[in-house]
Chain A
């Protein structure tokens, strides 16, 4: 398969500058779908528990390509394009379900759980007339098949034969931090979708941006859940594309001083909760890490904010819009108290999240702010120009890591 040439020239060498056309350009967006989402990457597609038994399936997207993920009769995971080999209609119309086989509603072409075309209605015609030519071979027709890989209950899919094995793709440091959170069978607690008025990369950058967290999300700082002056750091994968940031649980009342000295809005001492049960967190992993945000290039976020656990899937919807699919989860063996704690802490995240609602609008502020600035450059200089791991969160290293990986995939 040939990939289209990069539609534009990247204006600078440094990772610390990014042109704004990258969030706007339609040709660039179409190239991203081919080169990144349908290219040599692992896209998060669903949880293993979503497709637990033979025939269980979910539908989702690789970028904008509709796909079906299904558990085969053999217990293996299969994934294929949700597109009938006949006229291209969607094969599965539900978000999830259980099937013995899939049949396109348009002309009833039928597929097995591995995406093989096994039935063509009236293949031999009717009363000796019509039908497919004798040369038609079902095995030569079918939706494109994807590779799948799973890790700690997460399922990823790739259209490219060149994608390295998932564990090598993630690298040991990121893999270990996935396993740190997903230590046992999960139980889904809820699913919501947030439609964001911005290019998908603005959200991915935002999630990787440890610098903004305590400045934009003032709920955190006001209630002293995190400050940049708290301990923590950020790990960036070798290729730059994945990251994990951590905040250590360490309270110190003198921390507010740095915020006060700089007159930051994020400092509002004396603001207390009427019902502080929301912040009653338990160190369930036992390593003192209160907060971990992890990304896998290009579309996956794993979040541990106290006891609030979620995965987020980034789904591009044109150059100027995207959807963020949230799956909140706990574990199958959660006690009633832990279950209730997770329900309460879910207030922190999602479309109405105390520490995430701003992320729903800030990408749109950039999208609108840069409407006339396609050839201007954003400044991504906190912590230098490199994309290596750093023992501070006052850095944009992981954002630069994203651009390092992005430019490599895109040929910029």
Chain B
């Protein structure tokens, strides 16, 4: 039995648990674990509601393989320069929206507070995750996660993934 065969009521706790683990990995600065939440192949993109609605495909982050996700983490650790900061994700209850091409479709709201090294806390991003989930080696994983931010404006820079 695969994930898509489960009724929505049974999927809800599974998707919620995946979202919770995903958010904890980022907020706890365990970014190396982040690519592991994705299947292979996968798509991860950060865009905005306006771009999404207009069909503009470019994202501020765009990856179509787990390798590109690992590269993002490696660059953050070794190459990119940014002031020390952390996120706190608040992730809503997922809406299970049926099945697409053998994957479970889900949509979940999120809110991310950014905490800077000097203590400044800002509402950094809100939006929704548009997900396609598959059974990958016995666990639920993202085949696709499109992060649709409500605003197209980003403050200063976006280093840590959403």
> Is B71 interfacial (CB-CB < 8 Å)?
yes
- Complex contact B47–A190 (CB within 8 A): yes
The tally of residues in B whose CB lies under 8 Å from a CB in A reads: 36
Main secondary structure of the interface of A (DSSP, over half): mixed
- Complex contact A219–B75 (CB within 8 A): yes
User: Please, which residues of chain B bring their CB within 8 A of the CB of A182?
Assistant: none
> Is B58 interfacial (CB-CB < 8 Å)?
yes
For A222, give its contact among B50, B57, B60, B79 (CB under 8 Å): B79
Number of A-B contacts (CB under 8 A): 123
For A344, give its contact among B50, B60, B62, B70 (CB under 8 Å): B62
Of A28-36, A40-48, A150-158, A350-358, the one contacting chain B is A350-358
In angstroms, Cα B63 to Cα A352, docked, is 13
> Is A136 interfacial (CB-CB < 8 Å)?
no
The tally of residues in A whose CB lies under 8 Å from a CB in B reads: 40
- Complex contact A195–B58 (CB within 8 A): no
- A residues near B, CB below 8 A? 188-197, 216, 218-219, 222, 268, 271, 273-275, 277-278, 323, 328, 339, 342-344, 346-347, 350-354, 357-358, 360-362, 364
- Complex contact A352–B82 (CB within 8 A): no
- Complex contact B71–A274 (CB within 8 A): yes
In angstroms, Cα B151 to Cα A191, docked, is 11
Question: What's the least CB distance linking B57 to chain A, in Å?
Answer: 6
- Complex contact A351–B78 (CB within 8 A): no
Of B6-14, B24-32, B103-111, B154-162, the one contacting chain A is B154-162
> Is B152 interfacial (CB-CB < 8 Å)?
yes
- Complex contact A352–B47 (CB within 8 A): no
Question: What's the least CB distance linking B16 to chain A, in Å?
Answer: 27
In angstroms, Cα B154 to Cα A366, docked, is 20
- Complex contact A361–B82 (CB within 8 A): yes
In the complex, 12 of the A-B residue pairs with CB atoms within 8 angstroms, ordered by the A residue number, are: A188-B56, A190-B56, A191-B51, A222-B78, A222-B79, A343-B59, A346-B59, A353-B60, A357-B158, A358-B80, A358-B82, A360-B157
In angstroms, Cα B74 to Cα A274, docked, is 9
The interface centre, meaning the residue of A189, A222, A273, A351 with most chain B CB atoms within 10 A of its CB, is: A351
User: Please, which residues of chain A bring their CB within 8 A of the CB of B81?
Assistant: 216, 218, 358, 361-362
In angstroms, Cα B47 to Cα A53, docked, is 27
